[in-house]
Structure 1
Amino acid sequence: MFKLQPHEIAEGKAESIRRAIEQAILDDRLKPGESLPTVRSLAADLGVNKNTVVVAYRQLQMTGLVVSDGRRGSIVANQSSPGPSSESGPPQMMSVRDGNPDIAFLPDENDIRDAFSRMNLENHLYGEQRNNPGFVKWAVECFSADGVPVDKGIFVSAGALDLIERALDAAGLVPGDKVGVEDPGYMSLLALTRLMGFELVPLALDQHGILPESLQSALDGGVKAVLFSSRAQNPTGISTSKERALALKEIAANADDVLFIDDDHSSLLQLAPYNSWHVRDDGPWLVVRSLSKFLGPDYRLAVSTGDVQTIESLENRQAVGMGWVSTFLQRLALQLLTSPAMRRKFSTGGAAYIERHTALLTLLRKKGFRVLGGAGLNLWLPIADERAVAERLFDAGWLVRTGRDFCVAPQSGIRITSSKMTPQQSIVFVDALLAARHALATTLSA
């Protein structure tokens, strides 16, 4: 009989009991069909109120990991398909390919209406201050909290890619110039830089971030910009460790003419500590933080800070182009970003993304897959025959994205979006992946 120990939970909360039992199921310490302790016995073992255990069991039933079985009580469910299916038809399709955040942690209609009720709704006219002072102040506080110097100013753009495109142009890069990018890297960023005509130089990754020798080789080879994400990297979920940041910082310090841009897209979710390595007294640099992962992609807003010359160049170019990013959006975003209810959503969402990513990562490693990761909304799985594997997964009811669009150097893999995967779905997905691998190995050996 499975027994949960008091030291496995925090402060006797239902949420911590749920997580401990989930982990036991993922670790195979609790197997399908096995009974959980009765509510009364578990409450007594843990020294908590019976209602706390009832809530935890109800949460487990909602995720599909546990079912109620009459006199047997609560038992671990058998995991068989990603969603409801009919007896005559295939399982319902489950998409784990889109890279989106979980809508449950984004502003809902009530959050937005509340923000509107607190907004200054005055019109903004030509010639007035380009950015909302309150929004800029919020950005300054966020960067400062992570030790990023903001004395050179804040630049507001229509998303991270808008900033990156403008920055590369403002830095004087022209078609044919070399740009260092993570490999595998963010699909849209690779597409943008290819469209701009740059030669992409792959930066190799391991569990701790960009490999120092890879960065040094790229700099020796003449790259004029380096684009990266120092935490929750897309598609891998890798975050740069403190030790790796120190090694990269030493290398970047000698590249005065190279523009370094960190796309820190997950900032408020706090998926990992922020270990900056490219901020320098001499040389161009930027940190860009979009709002897409915690307010939603449709807000099209990002804030950046960097060296004085780069910030001034961006401001000057924007002034004679689009002029400014809507202050109406800035004011709306500010109300949402500073709302206590939304701040709780950011915290809850960040914890959920870490939990979901870790659950999938743990299962894959346990089943013998060589996979990098740490925290994030996505996970990268290097695997041979990516197209054949994707087709097998599709037949089993799973939509994944193959790796070609994420890679510079030839390699094979799939990106899996973990942001909305429940523990039950992680188990089912890994089982489907194992079946695909077995079937393909059998086919290839025939």
Structure 2
Amino acid sequence: MEAAWLAERIGDPSARGIAAALTALIREGTVTAQTRLPTVRGLARELGVSSGTVAEAWAELRKHGMIRTERRRGTVVLGPPDVPRPIRYERIGHFGDRLAIDLAIASPDAALLPPLEAALVAAAGADGLNDYTRETITPRLRAAVEPHWPFPARGWLAVGGGYEGVQLLCQTTALPGDRIAIEEPTAARLLDILETIGVQIIPVACDQDGPVPAALARALRARPVAFVYQPRGQSPCGHAVTPERSAELAALLERSATLIVEDDGIGELSVSPTVSLGTRFPDRTVLVRSYSKSHGPDLRIAVVGGAADAVERVRVLRSFGTGWTSRILQDTLAHLLGDPEVRERVGHAREVYAARRARLAAELAARGVPTGGRDGLVLWVPVRDEPAALVTLAAHGISVAPGSRYVVEPASRHHLRLATARLTDDPDELAALADVIALAATGGPGVSAAP
């Protein structure tokens, strides 16, 4: 396609206008799939705009699956617009339906979840049901969670899971082009969320105690509108922030106006205490605590508590859609949280998950494969070659998550993420599993993986 031909058909030379004009041409079939588009610089010259304006339009089209940039062919048309997809998350562990051991998805062990029947019956008989009053959080649920919140929250909201809470906070805080600082590696779904919102991702390196202060200091120089991190049970690395590290991070954040979003993804299953920056910055910290893995994925419940203005923005955005989370589900969780037998059951599950993770880590360490981390439901396993390791494990009927899905840019060292919540408790089976993982990690027996 000639740049001049396309420029003639663009009435509004803004980024939005360029994207809209090309979208219309693709939809009506004037521009077909596999058409090679002009260069960014060439179209910018014809339109009399900056290259950045055209690049922004291309980014919007790319987000909706209409174009793709290839090294040799340049930018080509794929077809009409599609909904943005969580590409990283959708590509985790897809090696067919015949794999016998699923270590790709960090889902809880159903045998360790509390029964829901009594809690659902109690919640279904509560007062105030079937009322269109938009209740951000039921009194029973707030009473159940507030005493255990790590700092005084001025805003409260129940949402449909932890990732929805984090997504809505980012979406209502950042405009396209804004910067958000995040841990690296971090959750694949978080990267998908931020790319869909259209923000610039500023990675912050981590070690065993959480975000590295020097890395956060560099990120803050870019003036991010938010800093999103996991204070404990971090996925994929399994670190937990210590009080000492939290104090170092707080000293850096003291001089910024950045919103702090804390993602407590495994909540009560974590073996580490909650160390929250909200104790230092209650007016600009929001904690998102999920109860899916501890009390049941089908509850679809997370609680958002913290800075009033940030929580209010999320409430307003939700009013366009669901408006509020089911009061039945909220009070079901409240009942579970207040039941001594359920608390004992969750405590038992926490111990079982920690033991399973520790046993596999020890087995791998004995085979020359260090993993690190001390909390969570996953292991971050270094491997010599990611694609080869994935193929080796798949050939043995094992699916895992490729580490490349958890980083912003290609990493110098390869990793796999292994879910540990549903591991076997049979020592012989676990040893055999560790043998295969070590083989995949090292590329052969007796060869140590990179640390």
Do the two structures share a fold, i.e. TM-score over 0.5? Answer: yes
Counterpart in 1 of 2:79? Answer: none
Q: TM-score, normalization: structure 2? A: 0.71
Counterpart in 1 of 2:148? Answer: 142
Q: 1:264 Cα shift? A: 0.7
In structure 2, do the counterparts of structure 1 residues 247 and 104 end up closer, same or farther at CA, with 3 Å as the change threshold?
A: same
Q: 1:279 Cα shift? A: 4.5
Counterpart in 1 of 2:197? Answer: 196
C-alpha contact (below 8 Å) 2:180/2:227 kept by paired residues = yes
Whole-angstrom distance in 2 between the partners of 1:116 and 1:309: 32
Q: Which amino acid aligns with 2:235?
A: N
C-alpha contact (below 8 Å) 2:156/2:304 kept by paired residues = yes
What do you get for the CA RMSD once the two structures are aligned? 2.3
Q: Secondary structure at the match of 1:380?
A: strand
Residue 439 of structure 2 is aligned to residue 435 of structure 1: yes
Q: 1:376 Cα shift? A: 1.0
Counterpart in 2 of 1:30? Answer: none
Counterpart in 2 of 1:106? Answer: 113
In structure 2, do the counterparts of structure 1 residues 438 and 248 end up closer, same or farther at CA, with 3 Å as the change threshold?
A: closer
1:259-270 equivalences under 5 Å are: 259-270=259-270
C-alpha contact (below 8 Å) 1:174/1:198 kept by paired residues = yes
Q: 1:422 Cα shift? A: 2.9
Counterpart in 2 of 1:329? Answer: 329
| 4+ runs deviating over 4 angstroms | 437-443
Q: Secondary structure at the match of 1:361?
A: helix
Q: Which amino acid aligns with 1:356?
A: R
Whole-angstrom distance in 2 between the partners of 1:154 and 1:438: 48
Q: 1:437 Cα shift? A: 4.5
Counterpart in 2 of 1:382? Answer: 382
Whole-angstrom distance in 1 between the partners of 2:318 and 2:345: 33
Q: Which amino acid aligns with 2:217?
A: Q
In structure 2, do the counterparts of structure 1 residues 440 and 317 end up closer, same or farther at CA, with 3 Å as the change threshold?
A: same
User: Which stretch of the first structure deviates more once superposed, 211-220 or 427-436?
Assistant: 427-436
1:215-364 equivalences under 5 Å are: 215-256=216-257, 258-277=258-277, 279-281=279-281, 284-364=284-364
Counterpart among 140, 143, 159 of residue 161 in structure 2: 159
C-alpha contact (below 8 Å) 1:262/1:286 kept by paired residues = yes
Q: Secondary structure at the match of 1:126?
A: coil
Counterpart in 1 of 2:176? Answer: 175
Aligned pair count reads 344
Q: Secondary structure at the match of 2:312?
A: helix
Q: 1:320 Cα shift? A: 5.0
C-alpha contact (below 8 Å) 1:140/1:154 kept by paired residues = no
C-alpha contact (below 8 Å) 1:288/1:305 kept by paired residues = yes
C-alpha contact (below 8 Å) 1:353/1:375 kept by paired residues = no
Q: 1:389 Cα shift? A: 0.7
Q: Secondary structure at the match of 2:137?
A: coil
Q: Which amino acid aligns with 1:377?
A: L
C-alpha contact (below 8 Å) 1:377/1:418 kept by paired residues = yes
Q: Which amino acid aligns with 1:148?
A: F
Q: Secondary structure at the match of 1:271?
A: coil
Whole-angstrom distance in 2 between the partners of 1:358 and 1:167: 34
C-alpha contact (below 8 Å) 1:226/1:261 kept by paired residues = yes
Q: 1:221 Cα shift? A: 2.0
Whole-angstrom distance in 2 between the partners of 1:95 and 1:317: 36
C-alpha contact (below 8 Å) 2:383/2:441 kept by paired residues = no
Counterpart in 1 of 2:404? Answer: 404
Q: 1:429 Cα shift? A: 2.1
Q: Which amino acid aligns with 1:418?
A: T
Q: Which amino acid aligns with 1:105?
A: L
Q: Which amino acid aligns with 1:223?
A: P
In structure 2, do the counterparts of structure 1 residues 184 and 270 end up closer, same or farther at CA, with 3 Å as the change threshold?
A: closer
C-alpha contact (below 8 Å) 2:136/2:156 kept by paired residues = no
Q: Which amino acid aligns with 2:151?
A: V
Q: Secondary structure at the match of 1:294?
A: helix
Unaligned runs of 5+ in 1: 1-90
Q: 1:337 Cα shift? A: 2.3
Unaligned runs of 5+ in 2: 1-97
In structure 2, do the counterparts of structure 1 residues 363 and 199 end up closer, same or farther at CA, with 3 Å as the change threshold?
A: same
C-alpha contact (below 8 Å) 1:139/1:154 kept by paired residues = no
String of CA shifts for 1:211-238, please: whole Å, max 9, x gaps: 1111111111222211111101011111
Counterpart in 2 of 1:131? Answer: 137
String of CA shifts for 1:27-81, please: whole Å, max 9, x gaps: xxxxxxxxxxxxxxxxxxxxxxxxxxxxxxxxxxxxxxxxxxxxxxxxxxxxxxx
Q: Secondary structure at the match of 1:201?
A: strand
Whole-angstrom distance in 2 between the partners of 1:268 and 1:396: 34
Whole-angstrom distance in 1 between the partners of 2:232 and 2:331: 27
Q: Which amino acid aligns with 2:184?
A: D
String of CA shifts for 1:90-127, please: whole Å, max 9, x gaps: x97211111111111113xxx22222333325532123
Counterpart in 2 of 1:419? Answer: 421
Q: 1:199 Cα shift? A: 1.6
Q: Secondary structure at the match of 2:286?
A: strand
In structure 2, do the counterparts of structure 1 residues 163 and 435 end up closer, same or farther at CA, with 3 Å as the change threshold?
A: closer
Whole-angstrom distance in 1 between the partners of 2:360 and 2:184: 21
String of CA shifts for 1:163-190, please: whole Å, max 9, x gaps: 222222322x111222112111111111
Q: Which amino acid aligns with 1:165?
A: Q
- Percent identical among aligned pairs is 26
C-alpha contact (below 8 Å) 2:357/2:420 kept by paired residues = yes
C-alpha contact (below 8 Å) 2:136/2:315 kept by paired residues = no
Q: 1:416 Cα shift? A: 0.4
Whole-angstrom distance in 2 between the partners of 1:224 and 1:130: 25
